[in-house]
Every structure is written in structure tokens, then in C-alpha cells.
């Protein structure tokens, strides 16, 4: 079996197994899984409004998934995408409310500012990893909490006078689209979905067609061999974290300039940045796979809002399905072992 086919079959099998075991759990608790999944599908794309909301959530999922994938290519696990997203969010909103330029200048500038804020937040663990060999998982997890409190402090005490949300960004810095809203029954879909797809193409080209992308992969496979071949490992570690943080920060800019149009205080660090880890893993760390994986996770999270109303099933069961899919992706060696056994048995015949 080819490596490419095996990379495809594992996420597909993970989804199928997650949905199947989810159905068994529904049956065990006396619910109708067919009605449940039908309601889930309807809530995700049953009409243009729900489809618009699904595509809107797909946008930051793509970007955070790409952020995780870029770092993972260097054998680094960036758990700090949520903190980088928050820094990008507040940075983009700051630029979107402070300056007053024509839209063709103001909007790109606000997005870039958001990306740079995310990149600078990722620079700290990148430097510590490159020069002191500090585990990036520990640092990025801790920095998520630091980002949360700085984010809330900036909103409450710097950008406002004790309020829990900032002013709305100026129209010249807004990603909102009357056209997309009209064709999706006034959902919150905005132009960020196009930008996220463009970034997915850019990252694919970067990883597959550039020397730097080759160095990332080579260092991820064997750091010592890459160093022997003349690659600058430290510089590449920092570069990978900067790109990863920029993508996560851009995801925050999508929220600040598009979905909400402002920033508001957060109660916890759980959110899109952590979901991006699952998106990247299910997408097999491939930009193309991440696009489809992001759409699936967005569909599950948007669709679960109607499953209790339409089918009388607690939406927590959808979280179980999502957890099962992640479990099977993480335990992909089980699926690979089954596939290998089936192939060996077929070959023996």
C-alpha cells in the first residue's frame, strides 16, 4: 500500500469509526442515531445560513491547523496557537480601530499586524527552543494563560475604560461582506474564508516547492543529519515558530475583523487554537487535508447546536464523537496495523 493512500485511509477510517461508535453510544442511551446525525447534518449545512456559519468557523480552523502543521514539520508541537490567536486578535482590532486609512491599505495592514502579533508571541518559545533546548510544549501551554490575561487586561484597562469589549473596528478594516451575508441569510460569513484558502495554497507551495520547506522537513526527520548537511537548525526553528505564530495570529485577525468586528474579554483559554491541533492531525498535516478537516470540525461544532432541538439528543454527544475521531487519529497505528494484517492475509491467499 502506497504511503499517500495510507495517509488518506487513516483519517477517513478515524471519521467512520468515530461516527460509528458515536451511533452505538446514542443507541445505548436510547437515542436514534439516524435522527441525531440527520439533525447534525441539517444544522451544519441544511440551509444557506447554517452553511455560512460552517464556512465562517472553517476559516480560523484552517489557519490554526496550518499553524500546527508548519511547526510539526520541524518536529515541534506548538500548543500555543490559542495564545497566539488571542494576540493576533487584539493586535488586529487595535490596528482596525486606531488608524484611518483607505480600505485597500487599512484592511491588509490590520491583518498583517494581527499576524505579526501572533508571530512575536511565538518567537519566545522559538528562541528558548533554539538556544536553550527548552521544551516548546511546556512553554507554549504556559504562554496561553499569559496571553489570556494580557488580552483581557488590554481590553479592560488599556483600550477601554473598564469595559469588557473594545470599540467596533472601522469599516475600512472590516472583513464583513454584505454580499456573502445576503446569499447566506445574514450569517456571519466573511471574506476571511477566501484568505484562509489562499494561505493553505501558499503553505502547500512553501512546504513542497521551496528550499526552506525542504529544510523544515529534513530537520524534522533528523536534526543531526540536517546539521551535518549544513542546515542552520536554530534559524529554522525560529523561522518555523514565527510562521506558525503568524498563521495563528491571522486566525485571530479573522475573528477580530470578520466574525465579531471587535475584541471582548475571554473566560478561558480553550477554543479554536486547541481545536486546530485536532484539525491538523486529522488532515495528516497536509494543507489540502487541513482544509477538509477544518470543514468537518466546523460542521460538527455548528451542527451540534441544533441536534438537541431537532432530535432531542444532548449536544455533548457530538463532543464525544469529536473526541473519538481525535482518539483514532492519535492511535492511527491501530488502523495501520489492521490494514497491514488485512493486506498480508489477502496476499497470502
Contact between residue 110 and residue 261 where contact means Cβ atoms under 8 Å apart: no
Q: Which of 199-213, 217-231, 313-327 has the highest mean pLDDT?
A: 199-213
Whether residue 39 is predicted with pLDDT greater than 70 in this model: the reply is: yes
User: CA dist 36 to 14, 24, 127, 227, 314, Å?
Assistant: 19, 12, 48, 53, 10
pLDDT at 240: 96
| Least confident span in 44-58, 97-111, 170-184, 262-276 | 262-276
pLDDT at 116: 98
Q: How confident is the model at residue 340 (pLDDT cuts 50, 70, 90)?
A: low
Q: Which three cell numbers stand for residue 78?
A: 506548538
71-119 confidence digits (pLDDT tens): 999 999 999 999 999 999 999 999 999 999 999 999 999 999 999 999 9
- How confident is the model over 230-237, as a mean pLDDT? 94
Q: What percent of the chain has pLDDT above 70?
A: 93
- How confident is the model over 16-39, as a mean pLDDT? 92
Cross-strand pairs, 264:
165
Whether residue 3 is predicted with pLDDT greater than 80 in this model: the reply is: no
Q: What percent of the chain has pLDDT above 90?
A: 73
Whether residue 152 is predicted with pLDDT greater than 60 in this model: the reply is: yes
pLDDT at 268: 85
- How confident is the model over 31-39, as a mean pLDDT? 92
Backbone angles phi, psi at 306, to 5 degrees: -110, -10
Which has more confidence, 294 or 337?
A: 294
Give the chain's mean pLDDT: 91
- How confident is the model over 138-161, as a mean pLDDT? 95
pLDDT at 284: 87
| Least confident span in 48-57, 198-207, 321-330, 336-345 | 336-345
Query: CB neighbours of 63 closer than 8 A, spacing ≥ 6?
Result: 196, 199, 247, 248, 250, 251, 254, 276
Whether residue 341 is predicted with pLDDT greater than 80 in this model: the reply is: no
Q: How confident is the model at residue 266 (pLDDT cuts 50, 70, 90)?
A: very high
Amino acid at each position: 500500500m502506497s504511503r499517500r493512500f495510507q495517509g488518506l485511509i487513516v483519517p477517513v477510517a478515524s471519521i467512520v469509526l468515530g461516527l460509528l461508535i458515536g451511533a452505538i453510544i446514542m443507541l445505548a442511551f436510547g437515542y436514534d442515531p439516524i435522527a441525531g446525525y440527520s439533525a447534525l447534518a441539517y444544522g451544519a449545512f441544511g440551509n444557506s445560513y447554517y452553511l455560512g456559519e460552517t464556512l465562517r468557523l472553517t476559516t480560523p480552523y484552517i489557519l490554526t491547523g496550518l499553524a500546527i502543521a508548519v511547526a510539526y514539520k520541524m518536529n515541534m508541537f506548538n500548543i500555543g496557537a490559542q495564545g497566539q490567536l488571542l494576540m493576533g486578535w487584539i493586535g488586529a482590532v487595535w490596528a482596525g480601530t486606531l488608524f484611518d486609512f483607505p480600505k485597500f491599505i487599512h484592511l491588509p495592514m490590520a491583518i498583517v499586524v494581527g499576524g505579526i502579533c501572533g508571530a512575536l508571541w511565538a518567537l519566545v518559545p522559538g528562541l528558548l527552543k533554539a538556544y536553550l533546548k527548552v521544551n516548546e510544549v511546556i512553554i507554549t501551554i504556559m504562554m496561553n494563560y499569559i496571553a489570556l490575561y494580557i488580552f483581557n487586561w488590554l481590553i479592560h484597562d488599556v483600550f477601554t475604560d473598564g469595559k469588557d469589549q473594545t470599540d467596533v473596528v472601522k469599516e475600512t478594516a472590516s472583513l464583513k461582506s454584505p454580499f456573502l451575508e445576503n446569499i447566506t441569510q445574514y450569517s456571519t460569513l466573511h471574506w476571511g474564508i477566501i484568505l484562509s484558502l489562499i494561505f493553505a495554497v501558499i503553505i502547500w507551495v512553501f512546504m513542497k516547492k521551496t528550499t526552506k520547506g525542504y529544510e523544515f522537513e529534513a530537520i524534522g526527520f533528523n536534526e543531526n543529519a540536517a546539521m551535518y548537511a549544513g542546515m542552520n537548525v536554530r534559524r529554522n526553528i525560529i523561522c518555523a515558530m514565527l510562521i506558525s505564530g503568524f498563521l495563528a495570529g491571522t486566525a485571530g485577525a479573522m475573528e477580530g475583523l470578520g466574525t465579531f468586528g471587535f475584541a471582548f474579554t475571554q473566560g478561558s483559554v480553550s477554543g479554536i487554537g486547541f481545536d486546530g491541533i485536532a484539525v491538523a492531525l486529522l488532515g495528516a498535516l497536509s494543507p489540502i487535508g487541513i482544509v477538509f478537516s477544518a470543514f468537518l470540525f466546523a460542521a460538527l461544532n455548528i451542527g451540534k447546536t441544533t441536534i438537541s432541538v431537532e432530535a432531542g439528543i444532548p449536544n455533548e454527544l457530538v463532543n464525544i464523537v469529536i473526541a473519538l475521531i481525535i482518539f483514532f487519529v492519535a492511535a492511527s497505528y491501530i488502523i495501520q496495523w489492521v490494514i497491514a494484517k488485512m493486506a498480508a492475509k489477502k496476499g497470502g491467499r
